[in-house]
Chains A and B, each alone.
Chain A
Amino acid sequence: GAVVSQHPSWVICKSGTSVKIECRSLDFQATTMFWYRQFPKQSLMLMATSNEGSKATYEQGVEKDKFLINHASLTLSTLTVTSAHPEDSSFYICSLDRGKGVGTEAFFGQGTRLTVV
């Protein structure tokens, strides 16, 4: 069954508004979740690492104030795209791992297609 639930699957918003994307761990407590961005026909680019109860760790070049991450519980991380612009349109995917040691595969949410008009 599904391990990770991401919501919404798609969203269209007006330029200048904010959009929140949720990522839920369904069957275990995830202290760490990851947010990726994927442009059409391109690979996944890690944006940030979401840590429960502490600040997220952002990858170089990712604007912290633009992409707000909150990991308030062991089962929920949220990504808020603030003051969205058309260039923020993309596919956003969250993932987590069970933390069971070396080589554990990651589990991914179904992704969110964001379109800013």
Chain B
Amino acid sequence: AQSVAQPEDQVNVAEGNPLTVKCTYSVSGNPYLFWYVQYPNRGLQFLLKYITGDNLVKGSYGFEAEFNKSQTSFHLKKPSALVSDSALYFCAVGQGTGSARQLTFGSGTQLTVLP
């Protein structure tokens, strides 16, 4: 069975500072890893994904994530946080054909960027 852990329920960071939202995963075989962002009362928006290739993946809104196979991690990062980045972030892992049916979501991390 596959699983995802987001160890931090809440991350606070000052505007302009770098941010990191942590994610670790457990899956047999090669993982497909995703980050989604959710604003209040909205659905999830896709940020980025890792399928294969370079370990550093760049996504929307200046976000990037680094796939670390040895540490089974896929932390989300941004060099300079904006207040508008404040939202709920979900890490997800998938296998197989990539259908959403096979996605397992982490518990989510609430990011608050302080002005």
Instruction: Give the CA-CA distance A97 to B105 in the complex, in Å.
Output: 16
Q: Interface size bucket, A side?
A: 20 to 34
Instruction: Give the CA-CA distance A46 to B105 in the complex, in Å.
Output: 10
| CB pair A106 B108 closer than 8 Å | no
A60 contacts the other chain (CB 8 A): no
Count residues of B near A (Cβ-Cβ below 8 Å): 26
What residues of A have a CB within 8 angstroms of the CB of B34 in the complex?
A: 105
| CB pair B41 A96 closer than 8 Å | no
Given contacts A43-B107, A44-B90, A105-B49, contact A110 B43 (CB under 8 A): yes
| CB pair A104 B98 closer than 8 Å | yes
Given contacts A43-B105, A43-B107, A105-B49, contact A111 B100 (CB under 8 A): no
What residues of A have a CB within 8 angstroms of the CB of B36 in the complex?
A: 108
Instruction: Give the CA-CA distance A32 to B100 in the complex, in Å.
Output: 10
| CB pair A97 B51 closer than 8 Å | no
What residues of A have a CB within 8 angstroms of the CB of B97 in the complex?
A: 99, 101-102, 104
